Amino acid sequence: MGQYLEFRGIGKSYPGVKALDDVSFHAVEGRVVALLGENGAGKSTLLKILSGDTPPDEGSIIINGKEQRFISPQDAIRKGVSVIYQERQLVPTLNVVENIFAGDLPAGRFGVLRKKELLATTAEIIEKFGLPIDPEEFVGRLPVAYQQMVEIMKAYRRNSKIIAFDEPTAPLTDKEIDILFRLIGQLKKEGKIILYVSHRLAEIFRVTDEIVVLKDGKMVKTMVTSESDEATLIKAMVGRDIGDTYSRLRRSEVVGNVLLEVKNLTTDAVHDVSFKLRAGEIVGFAGLVGAGRSEVVRAIFGADPILSGEIKIGGEVCAFKSEREAIGRGIALCPEDRKEQGLVMWRNITDNISIPVLNKLVRGLFLNRRRAEDLAEGAVRKYNIKTPSLDKLVSELSGGNQQKVILGRWTSELMDTKILILDEPTKGIDVGTKAEVYQMCCDFAGHGIGVIFISSELTEVINIADTIIVMHNGHITATVKREDATEENVLAYAMLD
Q: 168: Cβ–Cβ under 8 A, 6 or more apart, which residues?
A: 84, 86, 148, 180, 196, 198
- Across the range 394-423, mean pLDDT stands at 87
251 within some domain: no
242 within some domain: no
24 within some domain: yes
245 within some domain: no
**Does this model's pTM top 0.85?**
no
Helix axes 487-494, 230-237, angle to 10 degrees: 120
Mean pLDDT (the chain, rounded)? 86
- pLDDT-derived band at 241 (thresholds 50, 70, 90) equals very low
Q: For residue 68, how far is the Cα from the chain centroid?
A: 29
Strand partners for 275: 262
CATH of the domain at 426: 3.40.50.300
Q: Are 425 and 437 in contact (CB under 8 A)?
A: yes
pLDDT the model gives residue 249 = 83
Domain interval for residue 292: 258-494
DSSP 372-437: HHHHHHHHHHHTT---S-TTSBGGGS-HHHHHHHHHHHHTSTT---SEEEEESTTTT--HHHHHHH
Paired sense of beta strands 58-63 and 4-14, if any: antiparallel
- Across the range 318-328, mean pLDDT stands at 89
Q: 117: Cβ–Cβ under 8 A, 6 or more apart, which residues?
A: 106
Specify the higher pLDDT residue, 294 or 175.
294
226 within some domain: yes
For 170, the 3-state DSSP assignment is coil
Nearest-CA neighbor of 421 among 277, 309, 255? 277
User: Which residue, 171, 206, 237, sits at the end of a domain?
Assistant: 237
- pLDDT-derived band at 242 (thresholds 50, 70, 90) equals very low
Which amino acid, one-letter code, is at 277? L
47 within some domain: yes
- The verdict on 362 and 412 lying in the same domain is yes
- The verdict on 314 and 221 lying in the same domain is no
pLDDT the model gives residue 359 = 82
Report the phi/psi class of residue 59: left, alpha or beta, with left for phi > 0 and alpha for psi in -120 to 50: left
pLDDT at 240 over 50: no
CA distances from 108 to 71, 97, 124, 125, 343 (A): 30, 17, 21, 22, 51
Specify the higher pLDDT residue, 118 or 427.
118
pLDDT the model gives residue 15 = 66
- Across the range 270-296, mean pLDDT stands at 92
The Cα–Cα gap between 192 and 184 comes to: 9
- pLDDT-derived band at 496 (thresholds 50, 70, 90) equals confident
End-to-end Cα separation, the chain, in angstroms:
37
- The verdict on 189 and 262 lying in the same domain is no
Nearest-CA neighbor of 31 among 195, 273, 265, 215? 195
Percent of the chain with pLDDT over 70: 92
Residue 17 sits at the vertex; the CA angle it makes with 212 and 420, to the nearest 5 degrees, is 105
Q: 492: Cβ–Cβ under 8 A, 6 or more apart, which residues?
A: 230, 234
- 226 DSSP 8-state letter: G
- Across the range 379-388, mean pLDDT stands at 86
Count: domains in the chain: 2
Q: Give the model confidence (pLDDT) of 68-85 as tens digits.
A: 999 998 899 889 998 988
Q: Give the model confidence (pLDDT) of 159-213 as tens digits.
A: 889 999 988 876 666 677 888 888 899 889 989 999 998 877 888 999 999 999 9
- The verdict on 466 and 362 lying in the same domain is yes
pLDDT the model gives residue 128 = 81
- Across the range 77-99, mean pLDDT stands at 85
250 within some domain: no
pLDDT at 430 over 60: no
- The verdict on 137 and 271 lying in the same domain is no
296 within some domain: yes
Of 92-101, 237-246, 334-343, the least confident: 237-246
Alpha helices in 301-368 (DSSP H): 323-328, 349-354, 358-361
- The verdict on 224 and 354 lying in the same domain is no
- pLDDT-derived band at 52 (thresholds 50, 70, 90) equals very high
